[in-house]
Amino acid sequence: MTSKDPEAPPRVGLFVTCLVDLFRPTVGFAAIKLLEDAGCTVEVPLAQTCCGQPAYNSGDRKDARAIAENAISVFEDFDYVVAPSGSCAGMLKRHYPGLFSGDPDWQARAGAFAGKVHELVSFLSDIRGVRAVTARHEATVTYHDSCSGLRELGIRSQPRSLLASVEGLELVELEDADVCCGFGGTFCVKYPDISNAILDAKTGCVEASGAGTLLAGDLGCLMNMAGKLKRQRSRVEVRHVAEVLAGMTDGPPIGGR
């Protein structure tokens, strides 16, 4: 089913991620818009679920593998698989192949699949060569580098350069932008007090930046930081970077205003 014509728009399967699916569909629609604007044909397979990280990072390899089999089967025929999350894209790209060690058939499928996987913003920038978006966002924003995207996939400059093309937007750098926000998936509920200490340092930096909007590329981190900022009665609004790049900021920010 892979498109043969090099001129034909690439077929992208949107791996929307479970958190976006459940909590923030706007990010999914923003991703579709951005991908279509970048000349892609976007499909959303309905048989997708979660990438399996909760099981994988909790030591449950068997379930992680079963979940991975589902995701690979659903997505392997696309030209590209794109996820609006560095963490989930990292799971699909960097960790799936290892789940099938000792099973050459599946390992080959997982390897081929992994080669197609990209995080949304870096896909737009690095693969589709998008240099600017048509969006407007009157605000001073700051950007948090989510760990998996930054360290597993090397995402750092791409969101910043695309954000620079958003009209009205001023980007101020966040101190310790590359330091974890304390989310860590199940970590934040297994070790709530430690998570909170890390998070507290992060929201301190966010407030100190003076920005009115906090952006990042991973909904887990965003919900964590938004939850804390709102508990601290902060006026900082929290959004996924894709919402701003797609100009879809009419709805309430994550965790409300």
Partner 1 sequence: MRITSPAFKENARLALADPQLQQALGNVRSGFIDKRETAVDALPEFEALRDSARAIKDHALQNLDLYLEAYEAKVLASGGHVHWAETAEDARNIILGICRSAGARTVTKGKSMITEEIALNEFLEENGIRPVETDLVEYIIQLRREHPSHIIAPAVHVTQAQVEADFRRVHDHLPVARDLSEPEALLGEARRVLRSKYFEADVGITGANFLVAETGSSVIVTNEGNGDLTQILGKVHVVVASIEKIVPTLEDTAQILRVLARSATGQDMSVYTTVSTGPRRWGDPDGPAEYHVVIIDNGRSAMLGSDFQDMLRCIRCGACMNHCPVYHAVGGHAYGWVYPGPMGAVLTPSLVGVDKAGHLPNASTFCGRCESVCPMKIPLPRMMRHWREREFERALNPAAARYGLKAWAFLARRPALYQAVTATGMRLLSLLGGRKRRLSWLPLGGSWTKHREFPAPEGSTFLRQMKARARP
Of 69 and 79, which has the nearer Cβ to partner 1? 69
Residues 112 and 93: beta-carbon distance below 8 Å: no
> Is residue 13 close enough to count as binding partner 1 by CB under 8 A?
no
Q: How far is the CB of 234 from partner 1 (least distance, A)?
A: 11
Q: Which is nearer to partner 1, 20 or 162 (CB)?
A: 20
* Contact status: 173 vs partner 1 (CB under 8 A): no
**DSSP-derived secondary structure for the chain:** -----TTSPPEEEE---HHHHHH-HHHHHHHHHHHHHTT-EEE--TT----SHHHHHTT-HHHHHHHHHHHHHHHTTSSEEEES-HHHHHIIIIIHHHHTTT-HHHHHHHHHHHHHEEEHHHIIIIIS-------EEEEEEEE---HHHHHHH--SHHHHHHHTTSEEEEEEPPTTTTS--S-TTTHHHHSHHHHHHHHHHHHHHHHHHT-SEEEES-HHHHHHHHHHHHHTT---EEEEHHHHHTT---SPPTT--
Binding segment toward partner 1, per CB under 8 A, in 57-65, 75-83, 126-134, 206-214: 57-65
Q: Which of these ranges, 22-30, 129-137, 164-172, 239-247, lies near partner 1 under the rule CB under 8 A?
A: 22-30
63 is a contact residue toward partner 1 (CB under 8 A) = yes
**Binding segment (CB under 8 A) for partner 1, from list 106-114, 193-201, 207-215, 239-247:** 193-201
Q: Which stretch binds partner 1 (CB under 8 A): 3-11, 16-24, 135-143, 209-217?
A: 16-24
- Answer for which of 40, 89, 135, 180 binds partner 1 (CB under 8 A) is 180
- Selected binder of partner 1 within 165, 196, 205, 212 (CB under 8 A): 196
Binding residues for partner 1, rule: CB under 8 A, are: 16, 18, 20-26, 28-29, 44, 46-50, 52, 54-61, 63-64, 66-67, 70, 147-148, 151-152, 178-180, 182-199, 201, 223-224, 226-228, 230-231, 251-252, 254-257
